[in-house]
A = this chain, B = another copy of it.
Amino acid sequence: MFAEIKGLNEECGLFAIWGHNEAAQLAYYGLHSLQHRGQEGAGIVTSDKEQLYAHKGVGLLTEAFGPGDIEGLKGNHAIGHVRYATAGGGGIENVQPLHFRSEDGGMAIAHNGNLVNYQILKGDLERKGSIFQTTTDTEVLAHLLKRQSSTKLRKQLHAALPQLIGAYAFAVMTETELIVAQDPHGLRPLSLGRLGDAYVVASETCAFDIIGATYEREVAPGEMIIFDESGMHSSRFSEAEDRALCSMEYVYFARPDSNLDEINVHTARKQLGKQLAVEAPIEADVVTGVPDSSISAAIGYAEKTGIPYELGLIKNRYVGRTFIQPSQELREQGVKMKLSAVRGVVEGKRVVMVDDSIVRGTTSKRIVRLLKEAGATEVHVRISAPPIIRPCFYGIDTSSRGELVAANLSIEEMREMMGADSLSFLSVEGLKSGIGRDESQPNCGQCLACFTDQYPTAIFNTKKELVTVGMD
């Protein structure tokens, strides 16, 4: 849904619960609240201590799970996953949690993030005789675990995780234990909560709210939390680096009702809008936001400037997989998809259009045109984040550098390309102060690589060699 508008896609959401007699059902609702993180596949694996039970399907959660599917998922422990699939990788075999069966028992793995050295590790493993049945980077971890000398899962993870470079939040479950782990930079969000006596772990806290769980704390960078019969145990598989939580989670991905590191997402976005008003004010009649993710920033911008906030753009709901697409001819004749401008609001007005990011610029261009066709006399584009000049290697499906408009055009060129009357971006400093993480404290850093080219881990250079590019 979001994906189609933005060309900027999160890869996946995680949910895990340990010790509740309705584990599968709660996983279903938890995943439901994480649906915005991935709409192309969903799965749940449960354990009743004796055996693992799995159900997975392509599409939305409501498409992947039919009546009766939940009942088959027995036991008090569950992990679940919603998947965003990059082009070509949408087969059912890639839907997570991945589920492996051996003579000694089963194992299920769910993963949010992206491993930078995935292809190197996969090549090594194949040369040693491993065969891969999925095209996910996640399967690499399963093979690494299997090849450890220990048969204890926690020891296998201690040995395997340090071999991985990149972003990862993992949930791994066997019949008798559940382990979640966060990469040493804590690039992807992962929170711990309680629901009565049960433990819950989720990519976003909105999954706690929907099931009535309470928030406890973040899973720390380099931390591994083990849940087993004797309760919960924390362990460290790596020296923690300074936290580098993805700042695009605040700007665009996370649900406004989630808190990330205890900062509410809506509130952060509204602050970004206010900061943007300070940095790039303009004289205008109405402020409008591009739904859904830019609404909060637009409200902040309006509040700070005193220009009235209005619903100048409407998103057409229900434009799903089964929607019959208009012919090219009709599209050219003006049949609208996804977004409509509200003529009654923008006609004859100078409009500030607040958006949260520009990737290829084509969507922004289309929206400016929509507003002008609906009678806006001026359209001032205000972006509540800095220009995206570098691709992400940590699980966000941004386009390659060649497609990133801000990597190739000046701001004035972009303004002209999209036909706006003015265009401004938030500064990197403005982004940091708007989000409001106290970077003087430990574990409060954030990843800004797509804005700054400062990657927190080694990455690949253009020759596909792994290079070390430290964060300063």
* A265→B311 CA distance, assembly (Å): 10
B209–A340 touching, CB < 8 Å: yes
Whether A327 pairs with B22 at a CB distance below 8 angstroms is yes
Residue contact B333 to A212, C-beta cutoff 8 Å: yes
Is A318 within 8 A of B61, CB to CB? yes
The answer to whether B103 touches A257, judged by C-beta atoms less than 8 angstroms apart, is no
The answer to whether B143 and A131 touch across the interface, beta carbons within 8 angstroms, is yes
Given A93-B93, A129-B129, A330-B22, verify A256-B342 contact (CB < 8 Å).
yes
Chain A residues bordering chain B, tally (CB within 8 A): 92
Assembly stoichiometry (copies): 4
Nearest-neighbor residue (CB-CB) of A147 within chain B:
B129
In the assembled complex, the Cα of A450 lies from the Cα of B117 at a distance in Å of 54
Measured CB to CB, the closest approach of chain B to A160, in angstroms, equals 12
Chain B residue with Cβ nearest A258 = B344
Closest residue to A370 on the B side, CB-wise?
Answer: B209
**A266 and B324 in contact, given A142-B131, A211-B334 (Cβ under 8 angstroms):** no
B133 and A29 within 8 A (CB) = no
**B311-A266 in contact (CB<8A):** yes
Interface membership of A255, Cβ < 8 A = yes
When C-beta atoms are compared, the residue in chain B nearest to A135 turns out to be: B101
Q: Tell me whether B295 and A330 are in contact (CB under 8 A).
A: no
Question: A50 near B: Cβ within 8 Å?
Answer: no
Q: A103-B119, A129-B130, A264-B344 are in contact. Are A25 and B209 (CB under 8 A)?
A: no
From A120-128, A412-420, A427-435, give the one contacting chain B. A120-128
Check if B257 sits within 8 Å of A342, measured CB to CB. Answer: yes
Tell whether, in the assembled complex, residue B132 and residue A66 are in contact, meaning their CB atoms are under 8 Å apart: no
**Which one of B62, B102, B211, B266 lies within 8 Å of A132 (CB-CB)?**
B102
Question: When A22-B329, A265-B344 are in contact, do A270 and B126 touch as well, CB less than 8 Å?
Answer: no
Q: Is the Cβ of B311 less than 8 Å from the Cβ of A257?
A: yes
Is the pair A322, B66 in contact by a Cβ cutoff of 8 Å? yes
Do B146 and A130 touch across chains, with their CB atoms under 8 A apart?
A: yes
Q: Is the CB of A311 within 8 A of B336?
A: no
- Asked whether, in the complex, the Cβ of B70 is within 8 Å of the Cβ of A324, the reply is yes
Q: What's the nearest-Cβ distance from chain B to residue A68, in Å?
A: 9
Which has the most chain B C-beta neighbours within 10 Å: A29, A103, A311, A344?
A344
Q: Which of B66, B296, B318, B330 contacts A26 (CB 8 A)?
A: B330
Q: Mark A194-228, 1 if CB is under 8 A from B, else 0.
A: 01100000000010011110000000000000000
In the complex, how many angstroms separate the beta carbon of A58 from the nearest chain B beta carbon? 10
Out of B104, B314, B330, name the residue touching A256 (CB < 8 Å). Answer: B314
Q: List 20 A-B contacts (CB under 8 A).
A: A22-B327, A25-B326, A26-B335, A33-B340, A61-B318, A62-B322, A62-B323, A63-B322, A92-B92, A100-B131, A129-B147, A196-B333, A210-B336, A212-B333, A257-B341, A266-B311, A266-B344, A267-B310, A267-B344, A267-B345
